[in-house]
Amino acid sequence: MTYYDQHVHTYFSFDSQAQFEAYLAQTTHPFVTTEHLEMANPDDGGRDDAPDYAAYVAKLAALRQQVPNQLLRGIEVGYYAPKQAALSAYLAAGDYDLVLLSFHHDGQYDYQDKHFLTVPLRAHVEAYYDRMLAGLTAFDGADVLAHFDYGLRVLTVTPTQLIDWVGPTLKRILQTVIAKDMALEFNAKSAYQWDNLALYERVLPWYVQLGGTKVTLGSDAHTADKFETHFEDAKTILRAAGVTHLTTYRAHHAELEAL
Ligand SMILES: [Zn+2]
Ligand SMILES: [Zn+2]
């Protein structure tokens, strides 16, 4: 098994101090980081947070002289409709192996903000998935829909509530992922740190039933000790859900590996 983590952050992300070397000490496999591109970021005073691309490329070039791992380039796009043109322009100026698409904030609050503990739950869930479907439909150039449950991480929503409240929207999201030939991510941090495993167990078989074949597995590590955490647990869940392959990306090209 040569599968490797498809969701990793370093100090090129606004919310991580992790060093490449600390991850690379743990693996001989190819290695990719997916740094935050988060515009109008409420978790950072509304700033446009973007990786320093030239420094990122230079760091990878320097590391290639020091480690045997194949080093790939990735990014996690935090979609925000008013910034879509700027997000696309930033991406067009670089060259990536892997682009994750995420829905982290509504312009006012990051969805992990305690603010969302104070709003009506069902209306929030409906608004989150409406926003995800609209953004996913509008934005081209991403390889993977990351953590479909991000907007529920700080909340408690059961699989039954999810399907009752936003089933049709979620179905269209999964169909759009498939139509765009993207992958759906199993986010280990969401499943195991934020206790949303039941949502993944409900949605993954549905995705497979709709014809989805591309699934990535990501730790969403922001510190090196979280690298590839719970991957064996996750693989067991994925197999039970009917997922037969895991997907990695090079130059946006999906490579499937039997699970
Ligand atoms: Zn994220
Ligand atoms: Zn992330």
Q: Is residue 14 part of a domain?
A: no
Beta-strand pair 253-258/245-250 = antiparallel
DSSP states along 113-139: SGGGGSS-HHHHHHHHHHHHHHHHHH-
Q: Is residue 214 part of a domain?
A: yes
- Note whether 21 and 47 are within 8 A (CB): no
Report CA-CA distances (Å) from 102 to 24, 147, 184, 185, 196.
25, 7, 11, 10, 16
| Residue whose pair of structure tokens reads 């090129």 in the numeric block | 12
- Note whether 184 and 145 are within 8 A (CB): yes
Report CA-CA distances (Å) from 211 to 72, 160, 178, 221.
28, 22, 7, 29
Tally the domains of the chain. 1
Q: Is residue 251 part of a domain?
A: yes
Counting residues of the chain whose pLDDT is more than 70, the rounded percentage is: 100
Q: Is residue 10 part of a domain?
A: no
How far, in Å, is the centroid of ligand 2 from the Cα of 188?
A: 11
Ligand having the closest approach to the CA of 150: 1
Q: Which domain holds residue 195?
A: 20-258
The pLDDT confidence band at residue 1, using thresholds 50, 70 and 90, is low
How far, in Å, is the centroid of ligand 1 from the Cα of 242?
A: 25
How far, in Å, is the centroid of ligand 2 from the Cα of 73?
A: 14
d(CA 20, CA 32): 10
Q: Under 8 Å CB-to-CB from 126, ≥6 apart: which residues? A: 165, 166, 169
CATH number reported for the structural domain that contains residue 225 in this entry? 3.20.20.140
pLDDT in tens, 12-46: 999 999 999 999 999 999 999 999 999 999 999 99
Q: Is residue 6 part of a domain?
A: no
How far, in Å, is the centroid of ligand 2 from the Cα of 208?
A: 24
Q: Is residue 9 part of a domain?
A: no
How far, in Å, is the centroid of ligand 1 from the Cα of 111?
A: 10
Ligand having the closest approach to the CA of 33: 2
Ligand having the closest approach to the CA of 112: 1
Q: Is residue 40 part of a domain?
A: yes
Looking at residue 2, its pLDDT comes to 85
**237 pLDDT higher than 80:** yes
Kindly tell me the burial class for residue 36, based on how many C-beta atoms sit within 10 Å of its own C-beta (0-12, 13-18, 19 or more).
buried
Q: Is residue 150 part of a domain?
A: yes
